[in-house]
Homo-oligomer: A and B are copies of this chain.
Amino acid sequence: MKQEITIALDAMGGDHGVSVVVPAALSYLRTHPGQSIILVGREDTIREHLPGKGSLPDGLSIHAASQEVGMDELPSQALRRKKDSSMRVALNLVKSGEADACVSAGNTGALMATARFVLKMLPNVDRPAIITALPAVNGRTWMLDLGANVDCSAEHLFQFAVMGSELVSVVDDVAKPRVGLLNIGQEEIKGNEQVKGAHELLRDAALNYMGYVEGDDIYLNEEVDIVVTDGFIGNVALKTSEGVAKMIRGNLKEGFSQNLLTRLSALFALPVLKGLSRRIDPRRYNGASLLGLRGVVVKSHGGTDALGYAHAIDIAAKTVRADIAARIEEGVTRHLETLRKPA
């Protein structure tokens, strides 16, 4: 039983626009025959990046959109002035049912605001959250929110935990993903009010809640599948991790290119270095899901290449196949009921 899935791509979004999105779409369709992709954007620009510039390959179609959302454009402006943007039109296709999901590498704030406006939120979910998987000693750990919400209440954090659990149980095929709540280690001044409140809610809920975790647990704790935090902290943790990894990679590169001897040693070390490089390759983790919406929306990193973008398409397809939105709706309602029950 193979389901045909149609994914709308915001072809103009991201730092590299069509030059990344079109090759990613072609590569995805080659490896996933029978699936469909709609490229949304300026038709002439899109066609320029297609091979042969003539007929479209099987499964690929183009849907015209005359505008683009700038990477630095304010979400409110994009919402008001860009009604025919590739981003907005791609989301409209999800709303109308012509597409099952939308992938965009465009401006996160605008994507979040437009997706919320076009698709609306699920009932009982107050705010959307952004979630992604990160490489970890236990394979991978998911973290949310990554920047959609800067000030979160205890209830918001609780909803993130529920949404994350539903997603991860499906995508990683684990019955009860283990949830940790990001906090700092000091007793007494431990946590702020929101985190303490979320801790109470999570303890009483029917989730597989493991308690507080700290920053290093994201990567080193084998007992946790999902780390829940607010968008400001999640975003800082994500960017900080990227910074450390890049610095170390740079240091290794510099070290190995110092002189003839180190360059020679790099040749010997190459298999190991490549293995590491592959393991922490951000392209293999590209694709953050916007949870809490009535529809599947995946954000690709703005600067990724075709390999990374294709990974984001794959995440969108998996999410559709698992019917995540319906599961989250059901999950949030169920967990809220558990909470309301007297002990």
Across-interface contacts of A75 in B (CB, < 8 A): 187-189
Given A236-B236, A251-B279, A252-B272, answer yes or no on A72-B187 (Cβ-Cβ < 8 Å). Answer: yes
A272 lies within 8 A of B265 (CB): yes
B246 lies within 8 A of A108 (CB): no
B242 lies within 8 A of A215 (CB): yes
Across-interface contacts of A244 in B (CB, < 8 A): 219, 240-241, 244-245
> A175 on the interface (CB 8 Å rule)?
no
B236 lies within 8 A of A215 (CB): yes
Report the bound CA distance from A257 to B185 in whole Å.
Answer: 33
> A271 on the interface (CB 8 Å rule)?
yes
Given A219-B243, A219-B244, answer yes or no on A186-B108 (Cβ-Cβ < 8 Å). Answer: yes
User: Quick one: which of A183-242 are within 8 Å of B by CB?
Assistant: 184-189, 191-193, 214-220, 229, 231-233, 235-242
Q: How many monomers of this chain does the complex have? A: 2
> A50 on the interface (CB 8 Å rule)?
no
For A279, the closest partner residue in chain B by CB is B251
- By size class, the interface of chain A is 35 or more
For A221, the closest partner residue in chain B by CB is B243
Report the bound CA distance from A246 to B246 in whole Å.
Answer: 14
A250 lies within 8 A of B137 (CB): yes
Q: Other than the known A147-B186, A255-B275, A268-B268, what 14 A-B pairs have Cβ atoms closer than 8 Å?
A: A107-B187, A108-B186, A135-B247, A147-B185, A151-B192, A214-B235, A216-B239, A216-B240, A233-B236, A236-B236, A237-B237, A244-B244, A258-B272, A268-B269
